[in-house]
Structure 1
Amino acid sequence: MLIHLLLLPLLASTWAKPTSYAIWSADSAISRGQGNGLGSNGAPLVSYEHGEFWWALRLLYEKTGNKIYFDYIRQGVDRVVAANGTIGGGYGFTTDYQLDPIRTGPTFLYLYDVTGQQKYKIAADKYRQQLETHPRTAQGQFWHKLRYPNQGWLDGIYMGDVFYAQYTHDFQYSNKSAWDDVQAQFTLMFENTLQNATSPPHLLYHGYDYSHAAPWASPDRGHSPESWDRALGWYMMALVDTLDIFPPAHPGHAALLSFFRTLAPRVKAAADAQTGVWWLVLSQPGRAGNYFESSGSAMFVYALLKGVRRGHIEDDGIVKAMRKAYGYMVENWAIPNANGTIDWQNTVQVGSLDGNGTFEYYTSVPTDVNDLKGLAAFTLASIEYENL
């Protein structure tokens, strides 16, 4: 696949800093065929990572007008959505009941809005139908997956509820019960995972088990023992993106705004004082084995800078702090290659509550180069940084 060469530095022995890291990172991912609607085996794949990347490419297309980005999005989606609107790529509707695949849904809605092609609406309808029967806790929280009964994870808010809000906005704007439900998803997650300890960081734990059956569930609310940076990053991005969608007159808008305003200064304060970026396990900064992780850091930069730009929070030193964090990221994690592409370093492969949820678990998971969860987040962070 050809690389978009407009702004890539192509010197074999030396490199020049690009005009736009957002373009550089996106073009590098495209050149490697990342986020193209296919898995490593070449078969169609419904992937939340691809959905995150398509969101970044959409913003980049809207900013630059470069149709390469739009065409790449559409080509990727067309590999998983058939002409009749059927979703392939391993998506299981009622067999799996997962929130992760629904992250591709906002792009289905976007393509329907731009092209008017009915197949994208049909595919989005399928996700919306899943939410009608998706299992919930007794309080009403969507289970993260069918195989994790009564568990709500921060990740799931980004995966399912941004789509839920966008679908409601586009097709059911006057459906108050749907808006109430979107608000409830954010609220239940916030209330059940907020750290109530006497000392900072007062952030959110990775998730909770309402039934208290998981080995990691706390006696009070069933929350997990640690705060994982990428999980909180998903939630922060979901908040700031959904605020653009939620009707301002609905009480849910004020509720989401209050969550964002509560968490934003705490996220800023949780950054490492020297580097400006964030630890993998936010609840145990500086502990031996902990390290600075790139995907969560990029997500925080995106969310907080967008929050300031959109007027959701006062600057109050946030822009300065995010500049510091971004500077560390480009100096230490954005590594140029001789062929003009960029490698993105230090993204942890996964973080799950399938096991015991301990510090030792999170720090034992390997990191990857060019993990799309991190590279897409860096593209998003770069777009916001360049908007400054």
Structure 2
Amino acid sequence: MLRPLLIILFAIQIGFVTARPQSYAVWAADSAIARKQGNGLTAQGAAIISYEHGELQWGLRLLFERTGNRTYFDYIQSGVDNVVTADGTPHGSYTLTDYVLDPLRVGPTFLYLYKQTKQTKYKAAADVFRSQLNSHPRTAEGQFWHKLRYFNQGWLDGIYMGEIFYAQYTTDFQSNNATAWSDITRQFQLMFKNTLQNETAPNSFGLLYHGYDFSHTTVWASPDRGHSPEVWDRALGWYMMALVDVLEIIPTSDPGHATILNILKTLAPRVRDAAHPTTGVWWLVITQPGRARNYFESSGTSMFIYSLLKAVRLGYVNDSDGSIVSAARKAYDYVTANWVKPTSDGTFDWQNTVVVGSLDQAGDFNYYVSQAVDVNDLKGLAAFLLASLEIERL
């Protein structure tokens, strides 16, 4: 007599665990939250200020603003409360005098929470981050070093980590600070100038190398500008996201807006054209398409989808023939078909994100393709959330 009831209950249970939101953005956010990712804590429960968490929080903020679902706001706030004391001191492995740009990616979340709640601890934490920039080491040209231990090196990654916070802090509290706006613009300009591929360079797509060493002392520095040897997809992805995000913040009346906009207009069609023609996605090492051991990588691909679609949506880049949106759609179709793997608990596993890419070794092709590829790496999952938000706006 109980068998039909058990069948019904089993069916209900299966329906529950396999149910998924129609929105990939919601599904990505809910999957990350279910795994307690990006909550200001390590897997062991220790407080940590992490740029990956800042990237996810940016996406959750946008999702909260779109859906009104308070779950996303509360998750952002609880995550920041894990790394900021009641008096506004940021902790979780953060030391100002380490002079690392990466932690500053959580800074925009401090500013957002202060704006929403008016709790002074968030402003105090943002003030600490902003004070770091006053003494952060720079090249002779004025580029922030990526980290104190990377002597005279500017990396594309650092633009996303530092400049979005720098710009948001300036617009919130020092909107007429022309010196700050000029400095922010200079960070983008110097990175572009010193890492742009020459037309005669091997495998040139007219894109940006991962970084450069202004002192020309590290093993990978080129003779001309000290740039690294390859275009790594995620480094370029960080820079592209920084371009489209900062243009929403810097005043259109400031000369820097036009300067940064011109960089975006230059790079966007080149990024589009660098995609693999069949799949529509991007190689891990863009400068070595089709080479053995190279592969299609999910974090950089998602970052490019987000950046290209946002650039078109906000009118920063002309897409009169629809080729940029079409390219982003094609890439997104590959992403969802190949890198989103539903699980039995209603979440999904995110595939094919390389764990790390650094310039602390040779910076060559063999280095990049030797790095581990992870499942549910937050750098890629958060980028997919952002890409999905843009796709769902179309």
Residue pair 1:10, 1:340 contacting (<8 A) in 2 also: no
Residue pair 1:193, 1:207 contacting (<8 A) in 2 also: yes
Structure 2 residue 306 is matched with structure 1 residue 314: no
- Of 202, 206, 210 in structure 1, the residue corresponding to residue 206 of structure 2 is 202
What is the CA–CA distance in structure 2 between the aligned matches of 1:10 and 1:82, rounded to whole Å? 42
Q: 1:270 to 1:42 in 2, by over 3 A?
A: same
Amino acid at match of 2:364: T
2:231 is matched with 227
2:40 is matched with 37
Structure 2 residue 372 is matched with structure 1 residue 366: yes
Residue pair 2:40, 2:47 contacting (<8 A) in 1 also: yes
Query: Unaligned 5+ residue runs, structure 1?
Result: 1-8
Amino acid at match of 1:194: L
CA deviation vs aligned residue, 1:81-103 (integer Å, no higher than 9, x gap):
01100011010111x10000000
Q: 1:10 to 1:72 in 2, by over 3 A?
A: farther
1:68 is matched with 71
TM-fit CA distance, 1:41: 1.7
Structure 2 residue 359 is matched with structure 1 residue 356: no
Amino acid at match of 1:342: F
What is the CA–CA distance in structure 2 between the aligned matches of 1:280 and 1:11, rounded to whole Å? 37
2:329 is matched with 323
Structure 2 residue 61 is matched with structure 1 residue 58: yes
Alignment of 1:236-255 (within 5 A): 236-255=240-259
SS in 2 for 1:343: strand
Residue pair 2:341, 2:348 contacting (<8 A) in 1 also: yes
Q: 1:180 to 1:44 in 2, by over 3 A?
A: same
Residue pair 2:293, 2:369 contacting (<8 A) in 1 also: yes
Query: Unaligned 5+ residue runs, structure 2?
Result: 1-11
2:99 is matched with 97
What is the CA–CA distance in structure 1 between the aligned matches of 2:19 and 2:13, rounded to whole Å? 9
SS in 1 for 2:349: strand
What is the CA–CA distance in structure 1 between the aligned matches of 2:19 and 2:168, rounded to whole Å? 40
Aligned alpha-carbon RMSD (Å):
1.3
Residue pair 1:243, 1:257 contacting (<8 A) in 2 also: yes
Amino acid at match of 2:92: G
1:260 is matched with 264
Q: 1:212 to 1:111 in 2, by over 3 A?
A: same
What is the CA–CA distance in structure 1 between the aligned matches of 2:15 and 2:152, rounded to whole Å? 53
Instruction: Report the TM-score when normalising by structure 1.
Output: 0.96
What is the CA–CA distance in structure 2 between the aligned matches of 1:314 and 1:255, rounded to whole Å? 16
Residue pair 1:11, 1:339 contacting (<8 A) in 2 also: no
307-316 vs 10-19, which moves further: 10-19
TM-fit CA distance, 1:300: 0.2
- Of 111, 114, 133 in structure 1, the residue corresponding to residue 113 of structure 2 is 111
Amino acid at match of 2:195: T
2:392 is matched with 386
2:6 is matched with none
TM-fit CA distance, 1:11: 3.7
TM-fit CA distance, 1:14: 9.2
Instruction: Report the TM-score when normalising by structure 2.
Output: 0.94
What is the CA–CA distance in structure 2 between the aligned matches of 1:118 and 1:14, rounded to whole Å? 41
1:3 is matched with none
Amino acid at match of 1:42: G
Residue pair 1:343, 1:370 contacting (<8 A) in 2 also: yes
Alignment of 1:99-248 (within 5 A): 99-198=101-200, 200-248=204-252
TM-fit CA distance, 1:120: 0.3
Which structure: larger Rg?
2
* Total equivalences in the alignment: 379
What is the CA–CA distance in structure 1 between the aligned matches of 2:317 and 2:13, rounded to whole Å? 40
**Matched residues, percent identical?**
66
What is the CA–CA distance in structure 1 between the aligned matches of 2:358 and 2:14, rounded to whole Å? 41
SS in 1 for 2:264: helix
1:5 is matched with none
TM-fit CA distance, 1:313: 0.6
TM-fit CA distance, 1:16: 6.4
Alignment of 1:12-31 (within 5 A): 15=18, 18-31=21-34
Task: Give 4+ residue runs of structure 1 displaced > 6 Å after superposition.
Answer: none
Residue pair 1:227, 1:281 contacting (<8 A) in 2 also: yes
Residue pair 2:17, 2:346 contacting (<8 A) in 1 also: no
Residue pair 2:20, 2:27 contacting (<8 A) in 1 also: no
SS in 2 for 1:352: coil
Residue pair 1:60, 1:69 contacting (<8 A) in 2 also: yes
CA deviation vs aligned residue, 1:295-320 (integer Å, no higher than 9, x gap):
00000000000011000011241111
Alignment of 1:4-15 (within 5 A): 11=14, 15=18
- Of 301, 304, 311 in structure 1, the residue corresponding to residue 308 of structure 2 is 304
What is the CA–CA distance in structure 1 between the aligned matches of 2:48 and 2:18, rounded to whole Å? 35
TM-fit CA distance, 1:10: 7.3
Residue pair 1:14, 1:338 contacting (<8 A) in 2 also: yes
TM-fit CA distance, 1:18: 3.8
